Structure 1
Amino acid sequence: MTVALPLLISLGVMAYAWPAARTAPRDLPVGIVGTSTASQGAVESLAHSKPDGFDFHLYPDEVSARSAIRKRDVYGAFVVTPGSVTVLEASAASPTVAQLLGRAGRQLAAHSSQSAADRVASPTHGRSAHSEGGKAGAKEPAQIRVRTEDVVQTSADDPRGVVFSSALLPLTICSIMIALFVAMALRLRPVSRAMVLIVMSGAAALGVYVVAQGFLGALPHGHLATWASLALTILAISATTAGVVALVGPAGLGLSAALMVFVGNPFSGSTSAPELLPKAVDEIGQWLPPGAGASLVRDAAYFDGNDTAGHIAVLTLWGVLGLAAVLFGHRKSSVAKRPGDKESATVGTEGPANDVATPLVPPAPEELSPSSAPARSEMPAPAHARHAAGTCSSP
């Protein structure tokens, strides 16, 4: 224990700190508007500054790029012209990515200004300027303007998305507590356990939504869809935990807690974005209930339910498998024994019957030998016994 406990603590800290320390764009989907020379230069500049950092999508106009952002096809887009750079971002998708795109837009503007200055200072340009009147004919390159527009904003009460990102961990822990409560309810049958999980998930989701939106104003849109997303997330976590406990016993609680809390939460990308996490970590996180649930709630609350099919499928799969384990893999001694339960070898004692009774088969009459018959007692039989024997004997 003196070695195992510090090792577990170290692994838990690494699970949270490592993805956060390695945050960087990795195939982050962004849009580029137009196919002009300026747009092509923007692609080359971004690809050079962050190799493999962006996954570029070309759009014919700004309207198409805005639509792609709302549909969750891209996190943002760049509209590059010879005199300006417009950054279309969506802070509701990820405030961290929105800041990253803003910095990238300023870098594009600086790169374009430098390129224009280099063209003015080139010998060819100098000879042309001299032929047209020397220095009087030369013009300084115009300053590139940078404009940023937030296409899908976070709530005004939660501009940095702090409430949304910080709520995932307590939601995961509370979901595990629901599973623990169901596992400790020893008198509930498997069907009742499954029903309690469903009802408590819906009630807990309502409480979470009342706090997050009613008091804090962090989930302003899609009220019913957001509540349903929260309920499905809680059900997926709690049903999985209860199902593992039903299959393997008390150890299943620790296994599920480690998977959901120390893997699912830090790999979810809820504080940044899945595409900012190290490779393979983002995919693992989105296949676990915390990551899929965080993405589903975000899409339901801010993006009209776009790009939710995959997240719903993942959560439904976990929930169905967990409920099936609760129904068909139930173990009577999963967490604790019912009051009055006896060992299977104890027969004929008072108390609740065992789930599986071992029938008692009396020996055949011919198997009883005179030597094995019990000796008659020398004590006289009680009066009521002599009376019963007299009435049952033949004349």
Structure 2
Amino acid sequence: MSTPSGTHPTRPDPRRLIAVVVLAPLLVALALWAFAWPAARTAPRDLPLGVAGPAAATAQVERGLAQHQGAFEIHRYPDEAAAREAVEDRSVYGAIVVTERGPELLTASAGSPLVAQLLRQAASAGGAEPRAEDVVAAPESDPRGAALGASVLPLALAGIAAGSAVFTIGLSGVRAVIALVVTSGLVGVTVAAIAHSWLEVLTGDWWAEAAALGLSTLAVSAAVAGLAALMGKAGVGIVAGVLMLLGNPFSGAGSAPQMLPEPAGAIGQWLPPGAGTTLLRSVSYFDGAAALGPALTLTWWAALGLGAVLLGSTLRPRTTHADDTAAAPRPVPAG
């Protein structure tokens, strides 16, 4: 195919071609590491477990649990009532109570169906399976916690979309903050209406659930809009990448933070998807027990993000004014 005289066909930049060839496998490897590594290494690690009863009677139970090296973090309680209260307060995921009738296992499948099943297996490993009682049971409409786990990604996407939209349409300052807060509140109400009122997979106070869902969305959307206000489009990509590659797979929504390899579980609880899932479990199934920590984490994310939005709006006029001043023609001296 001939080209017009005096012109040359456009040749691709070899540096860009090399960047694409190298970057694509790296991104695939990173995504596979982030999602497959926690799934392939799911196992209990210092999982809080209670043991209740007289010291002489519980010694054998503790020796059996010690065989699972590093799997359980033992919390001792004097009687069944104290152990039951610890399960309801989310201090432990379950408890083995030694009674005159034999050992009894207390679980909380609402906290994690996978952990509840694991505890039943561990408690029966040494012999006969003990009597089990699900102290805080998962809802009948979601006994495996699949719906709750599936809500992590849509909430993160909603937050990313809201933050990106605020930046794209050019909202800044107080107007951007109002838009983010109102949008997140509407997302929380909408998801609560679907998950609680329709699907019935959430069973706690409706407004508390809506507030938790809204705060989770605001933490993400504010972070996206805030970093975008300071860095531009790159800020959107950074926050979205961190939340999608780390926040989602490290959230522990399908199991528990202590079931993920270290430090994935700890990192996940410092990111909005993990903190939001923990907060939602607390307000929906445990009457708000252990909700303070994740609520503060989400609040910090939201506050820092909204602060960055306001800071970006104050820096932008100064930057624009400085650019205009530099671009303005200087007067030529007379003579």
Q: TM-score, normalised by structure 2?
A: 0.88
2:59 aligns to what?
Answer: 40
Alignment-mate amino acid for residue 185 of structure 1? I
Q: Percent identity?
A: 43
- Give me the whole-angstrom Cα distance separating, in 1, the residues matched to 2:167 and 2:306: 13
- Give me the whole-angstrom Cα distance separating, in 1, the residues matched to 2:37 and 2:76: 33
- Give me the whole-angstrom Cα distance separating, in 2, the residues matched to 1:51 and 1:239: 42
1:98 aligns to what?
Answer: 116
Residue by residue, what CA displacement relative to the aligned partner does 1:286-314 show, whole Å, maximum 9, x if unpaired? 11111111100110101111111111111
User: CA contact under 8 A between 2:196 and 2:206: conserved in structure 1?
Assistant: no
User: CA contact under 8 A between 2:53 and 2:79: conserved in structure 1?
Assistant: yes
More helix by share: 2
2:237 aligns to what?
Answer: 254
User: CA contact under 8 A between 1:92 and 1:161: conserved in structure 2?
Assistant: yes
User: CA contact under 8 A between 1:32 and 1:78: conserved in structure 2?
Assistant: yes
1:12 aligns to what?
Answer: 31
- Give me the whole-angstrom Cα distance separating, in 2, the residues matched to 1:104 and 1:84: 16
Q: How does 1:139-218 map to 2 (within 5 A)?
A: 144=128, 146-186=130-170, 188-218=171-201
Q: How does 1:352-367 map to 2 (within 5 A)?
A: none
Show structure 1 runs of 5+ residues with no match. Answer: 111-143, 334-340, 346-355, 370-395
- Give me the whole-angstrom Cα distance separating, in 2, the residues matched to 1:84 and 1:261: 47
1:22 aligns to what?
Answer: 41
- Give me the whole-angstrom Cα distance separating, in 1, the residues matched to 2:146 and 2:331: 72
Looking at CA atoms only, which structure, 1 or 2, has the larger radius of gyration?
Answer: 1
* RMSD, aligned CA: 2.2
Alignment-mate amino acid for residue 279 of structure 2? L
Say yes or no: does 1:244 pair with 2:227. Answer: yes
- Give me the whole-angstrom Cα distance separating, in 1, the residues matched to 2:249 and 2:101: 42
User: CA contact under 8 A between 1:163 and 1:218: conserved in structure 2?
Assistant: yes
- Give me the whole-angstrom Cα distance separating, in 1, the residues matched to 2:326 and 2:287: 56
1:329 aligns to what?
Answer: 312
Shift of 1:146: 2.0
Give the total of aligned pairs: 312
Q: Relative to 1, partners in 2 of residues 1:18 and 1:145: Cα closer, same or farther, differing over 3 Å?
A: closer
Shift of 1:361: 8.4
Show structure 2 runs of 5+ residues with no match. Answer: 1-19
- Give me the whole-angstrom Cα distance separating, in 1, the residues matched to 2:77 and 2:190: 42
- Give me the whole-angstrom Cα distance separating, in 2, the residues matched to 1:233 and 1:190: 21
Query: Displaced runs of 4+ in structure 1, greater than 4 A?
Result: 356-363
Instruction: Identify which of 63, 66, 69 aligns with 2:81.
Output: 63
Q: Relative to 1, partners in 2 of residues 1:54 and 1:258: Cα closer, same or farther, differing over 3 Å?
A: same
Question: Any idea what SS the aligned residue of 1:253 has?
Answer: helix
Worse-matched range after superposition: 5-14 or 163-172: 5-14
Alignment-mate amino acid for residue 62 of structure 2? V
Q: TM-score, normalised by structure 1?
A: 0.75
1:279 aligns to what?
Answer: 262
Shift of 1:279: 1.8
Shift of 1:243: 0.9
Alignment-mate amino acid for residue 44 of structure 2? P
1:319 aligns to what?
Answer: 302
- Give me the whole-angstrom Cα distance separating, in 2, the residues matched to 1:51 and 1:35: 23
Alignment-mate amino acid for residue 89 of structure 2? K
- Give me the whole-angstrom Cα distance separating, in 1, the residues matched to 2:198 and 2:31: 32
Instruction: Identify which of 26, 45, 69 aligns with 1:51.
Output: 69
Alignment-mate amino acid for residue 131 of structure 2? R
- Give me the whole-angstrom Cα distance separating, in 1, the residues matched to 2:330 and 2:298: 50
Alignment-mate amino acid for residue 106 of structure 1? S
Alignment-mate amino acid for residue 190 of structure 1? G
User: CA contact under 8 A between 1:222 and 1:302: conserved in structure 2?
Assistant: no
User: CA contact under 8 A between 1:31 and 1:58: conserved in structure 2?
Assistant: yes
Shift of 1:246: 1.1
Alignment-mate amino acid for residue 20 of structure 1? A
- Give me the whole-angstrom Cα distance separating, in 2, the residues matched to 1:359 and 1:5: 44
User: CA contact under 8 A between 1:178 and 1:200: conserved in structure 2?
Assistant: yes
- Give me the whole-angstrom Cα distance separating, in 1, the residues matched to 2:279 and 2:265: 15
1:299 aligns to what?
Answer: 282
Q: How does 1:340-351 map to 2 (within 5 A)?
A: none
Question: Any idea what SS the aligned residue of 2:243 has?
Answer: helix
- Give me the whole-angstrom Cα distance separating, in 2, the residues matched to 1:258 and 1:284: 15
